[in-house]
Structure 1
């Protein structure tokens, strides 16, 4: 769901003219659990992963944000003046438009396509979460792992992924040992090739 796909020329011009564009290196936390949301992040380049974390440090990947997308959770929490229920971490170096809540509210009435974008984004993320819940409840670890690798391959536009077993374990909410065991199994099936801190999809 890309805002530029539905924005009219006037709206695109206002987005481009914003002075709230900031650069974030990979690993930067742009939104944290239980923090108040003071802005709406709109990804212009790079990517961001949105996760849910538990008190014991475990986390599970909810979805990725790519250029033209925003975090629906931050929009809803911000407009409701509530704290964030998710954590957003920059996956690839990113340029992000840090849109003020007041501007986000103004756009809801000024630009119908912004309202459409917010509602479609909500629908898409709801479907993503339903898929994730079904995956956790009904799918085996190997299926979940292959799906995550495919997501990353599409995100980075490459079949060669620089990722550790621990990173995959964190995003799936399971142990590193389980990930390593299943990856080895998938490799013997000829679906991937493993090397140090790197996985190649075949």
Structure 2
């Protein structure tokens, strides 16, 4: 990252990237000035931020786009642990910066993404000197930990069919259409692509969904909602 300030001008007034991150609005002027010496990076879809075993590089602030963090298995299968959207934190980075552990997962951009990487010395300096920054970091960390606990509960106690139905209901757009591949579904609900393929075929035969290559269409929302609530293993 560049050490120069990344502020530009808009309507004759200075405009810096920190204004794009709502959680940073309450930072003290000194902390904001420290952050504004860093410049955002523009990353294409599929860019790798880190891999398992690598030392933690810094604290990621996502301004736009999404980053997917995946746990990789020895067989090559991977599970989507969480996504980092604007305003959310990367628990892998926070744990590594505070505890000194290496990354145990892989992070890639799932769409073109604009982000800022706070190098470890800058992050630790702000944690020590800025109460407002500490509040942002630990509030985001707590929210992410809660989401991770929910993920563990879902993986442990919800049947594959219920996880699949929940995913489709949550991600489908207003007209009931979801553009997603079977491999992406498998990663998101923590199972194998072959399992997803069989479950989608079964739901399609029952008239609950329409399934095409890279596309799922909701045909019977009530049936999907009933399936999503049948959570017991």
Fold equivalence (TM over 0.5): yes
Report if the CA contact (8 A) 1:79-1:101 is conserved.
no
The Cα shift of 1:164 comes to 1.1
Task: Tell me how far apart the structure 1 counterparts of residues 171 and 121 of structure 2 sit (CA, whole Å).
Answer: 34
Separation in structure 1 between the aligned mates of residue 142 and residue 160 of structure 2, nearest angstrom: 26
Shift, 1:46, TM fit: 0.3
Structure 1, unaligned runs of 5 or more: none
Query: 1:4-43 to 2 correspondence within 5 Å?
Result: 4-5=22-23, 7-8=25-26, 10=29, 13-14=32-33, 17-43=36-62
Larger Rg: 1 or 2? 2
Which one of 167, 190, 199 corresponds to residue 182 of structure 1?
199
Q: 1:16 to 1:184 in 2, by over 3 A?
A: farther
Residue of structure 2 in register with 1:173 after alignment: 190
Tell me which residue corresponds to 1:121. 140
Q: How many residues are aligned here?
A: 199
Quote the Cα distance in structure 2 between the aligned partners of 1:36 and 1:63. Answer: 20
What SS is found at the alignment partner of 2:112? strand
In the superposition, the TM-score normalised over structure 1's length comes to: 0.83
Tell me the alpha carbon deviations over residues 59-118 of structure 1, each in whole angstroms, 9 at most, x when there is no partner: 111111111222022122123332112211111110010111111112213332221122
**Looking at both structures, which has the greater relative contact order when contacts are Cα pairs under 8 Å and sequence separation is at least 6?**
1
Tell me the TM-score normalised to structure 2 length.
0.73
- In the alignment, structure 2 segments of 5+ residues that lack a partner are 1-19, 222-233
State the superposition RMSD in angstroms: 2.8
1:19-168 correspondence to structure 2 within 5 Å: 19-153=38-172, 160-168=177-185
